[in-house]
Amino acid sequence: MATGRGALGRRGVLQAGAIAAAGVLAAPHAQAAAPVFCHGVASGDPLPDGVILWTRVTVDPGAVPGSGAGAPAGVRWEVAADEGFTEIVASGTTTATADSDHTVKVDVRGLAPARYYWYRFRALGEVSAVGRTRTAPAVAATPPRLRFGVVSCSNWEAGYFAAYRHLADRDDLDGVVHLGDYLYEYAAGAYGGRSGSVRRHDPVHEIVSLADYRVRHGQYKTDTDLMALHARVPFICTWDDHESADNSWSGGAGNHDPATEGDWPARRAASVRAYLEWMPVRAEGTAAAPRIYRRLRFGTLAELSMLDLRSYRDAAPHLGSPDSDDPARSLTGSAQMDWLTAGLVSGSARWQLVGNSVMISPLAFPPMDPTTTAAVTEVLGIPREGLAPNTDQWDGYTADRRRLLTALADRKATNIVYLTGDIHSSWASDVPLDAAAYPNGPTAGAEFVVPSVTSLAIGDLLPGPPRTGTVALENSLRTLNRHIRYTELDSHGYGVVDIAAERVRMEWFYTADVTDPGTGVALGASWVLPHGGRLRPGA
């Protein structure tokens, strides 16, 4: 989410708390993390026959993340069909070196589809915690359902990651889709929560160098709730802006000053390298130009297209600028747009899911029909579809959005589900080709936006208890933008998306208090997209 250097991102806030120690994993059947494996284990990007496995080896007490210190260490990995490792089905060895910050990533293949596996690592006489993962269904199989946790925007200083703990406590997930802002780049005390910072970032300065990004990734990986979830299910991740710097784009970032923070391409490259070292992501392309937009298939029931909406975008236009309509400007870049459009219009799965880091549904004041308001937009100099308050989203790149949605509408591709994060709030929207014409006119699927795990919500910035300052605003948003069916601007938590042949259901779960590591969680809302239809409230 855009935070900038003003009231949202650079307020003077209280500094309190401490770094959570790596200790006992909170997931069922978890065990104490060995000192050599004090950052836990993780898996990701499941295929029908394989999965990425990840860990980090602390080869000696001085070889902490970002230090560049420590000798190479041999690492053995094992995958078993049972939790007791009586039936090991795959194994091998690799080496953890300082060049990759002693992280280890293994792309295991030769596994059976649609089943759980357990995995572990051995190094320097110690054994890691045991992780559990799950492969995707066979390409031609039709699973009766799929279920994913959906999360975004987890700021260490704003609160505790109890949302991850509650997801880890479930035993019905095929994986977790993380839509970005897995970590935040700010200095200690620079961007906390409603009452300031509840724990302190490491390093204390804003992260800029490769060593800085490695240290910050290492810190987040010591959160016991995050460790528990990583050890429980595979993650499918993309980055948003804070993995590098706030409001990042291909040529810079809102939170990057070349005069004091150096060359942007160097900072961006450092952030990308650390991310790919520390995350269980299967990247393609080259070392100099890695590509993380990718598509995963889950039998004939669903395909999931994960987007990268930071690496190729042009700078976001200013609020109210007609540059939002410029067809030469892009959010996705031409290659990714071609890939996305082709995949969605020709995909053979029942449902097409899109891991989409910024909101695609129009949000404008008021939404306008470009075919009848051309004169108004010409005179006032505002975008054709209305005044959009957040041009960091698809609203700042309306030509790209129209290209995509027109292609989908022309093919009557209605079974599209956009899973979105970034804006620290909850939304359910039909995605219309022309918002002003809704509910008439075509739609191109629906969008479910999940709240932040901890990062500041709109309600956190308003006086008074939760729900006292936001309900009227939510009602106004829905009145002006009729395709927006649900919005909640106060709560933190996560989503669970449940996919079956005849419908996709999103449920929003809200934690009670992000400043309390033991906080509870409650179901907040449920919305359903029927096959071939439009959104309706969930049963």
The C-alpha atoms of residue 357 and residue 311 are separated, in whole angstroms, by 12
Q: 95: domain range?
A: 34-128
Residue 5 has pLDDT above 70, yes or no: no
Contact in structure between 483 and 127 (CB atoms under 8 Å): no
Q: What is the pLDDT of residues 243-272, one digit of tens each?
A: 999 999 999 999 999 999 999 999 999 999
The mean per-residue pLDDT over the stretch 354-372 comes to 78
Whether residue 14 is contained in a domain is answered as no
- pLDDT score, position 95: 98
In degrees and rounded to multiples of 5, residue 460 shows phi and psi of -65, -25
Whether the bond into 366 is cis, omega within 30 of 0? yes
256 with 358, same domain?
A: yes
432 with 493, same domain?
A: yes
Residue 472 has pLDDT above 70, yes or no: yes
Averaged pLDDT of the chain: 90
The mean per-residue pLDDT over the stretch 203-212 comes to 98
Mapping DSSP onto H, E and C, the string for 410-472 reads HCCCCCEEEEECCCCCEEEEEEECCHHHCCCCCEEEEEEECCCCCCCCHHHHCCCCCCCCCHH
The C-alpha atoms of residue 26 and residue 32 are separated, in whole angstroms, by 10
122 with 160, same domain?
A: no
Residue 281 has pLDDT above 60, yes or no: yes
Q: What is the pLDDT of residues 384-393, one digit of tens each?
A: 566 678 899 9
272 with 335, same domain?
A: yes
For helices 334-346 and 398-410, give the axis angle rounded to 10 degrees: 20
CATH number of domain containing 38: 2.60.40.380
User: Which of 93-97, 367-371, 513-517 bottoms out in mean pLDDT, i.e. has the lowest?
Assistant: 367-371
The mean per-residue pLDDT over the stretch 75-86 comes to 98
Whether residue 100 is contained in a domain is answered as yes
Final residue before a domain boundary, out of 84, 102, 128: 128
Instruction: Please report how many Cα atoms fall inside a 13 Å half-sphere around the Cα of residue 245, on the Cβ side.
Output: 28
- pLDDT score, position 30: 40
Q: Look-up: residue for tokens 């359902």?
A: 145
Classified as helix, coil or strand, 477 is: helix
In angstroms, how far is the first alpha carbon of the chain from the final one? 31
Final residue before a domain boundary, out of 99, 128, 157: 128
The C-alpha atoms of residue 417 and residue 507 are separated, in whole angstroms, by 14
337 with 469, same domain?
A: yes
Residue 465 has pLDDT above 60, yes or no: yes
Q: What is the pLDDT of residues 160-180, one digit of tens each?
A: 999 999 999 999 999 999 999
The mean per-residue pLDDT over the stretch 376-402 comes to 75
Residue 526 has pLDDT above 60, yes or no: yes
In order, the DSSP letters of 96-135 are: E-GGGTTEEEEEE-SPPSS-EEEEEEEETTEEPPPEEEEP
DSSP 35: G
In order, the DSSP letters of 156-195 are: GGG---HHHHHHHH-S--SEEEE-S-SS--PPTTSS-BTT
Q: Comparing C-alpha atoms, which of 150, 191, 47 is closest to residue 420?
A: 150
Whether residue 321 is contained in a domain is answered as yes
Phi-psi region of 422 (alpha: psi -120 to 50; beta: other; left: phi over 0): left
Whether residue 179 is contained in a domain is answered as yes
The C-alpha atoms of residue 420 and residue 360 are separated, in whole angstroms, by 8
Contact in structure between 327 and 345 (CB atoms under 8 Å): no
Final residue before a domain boundary, out of 102, 128, 154: 128
192 with 264, same domain?
A: yes
Q: What is the pLDDT of residues 108-124, one digit of tens each?
A: 999 999 999 999 999 99
301 with 240, same domain?
A: yes
Classified as helix, coil or strand, 384 is: coil
Query: What's the pTM value of the predicted model, to 2 decimals?
Result: 0.91
Q: How crowded is residue 10: how many other Cβ atoms within 10 Å of its Cβ?
A: 16
Domain count, the chain: 2
The sign of the torsion formed by the CA atoms of 127, 129, 130, 131 equals negative
- pLDDT score, position 365: 66
The mean per-residue pLDDT over the stretch 282-293 comes to 93
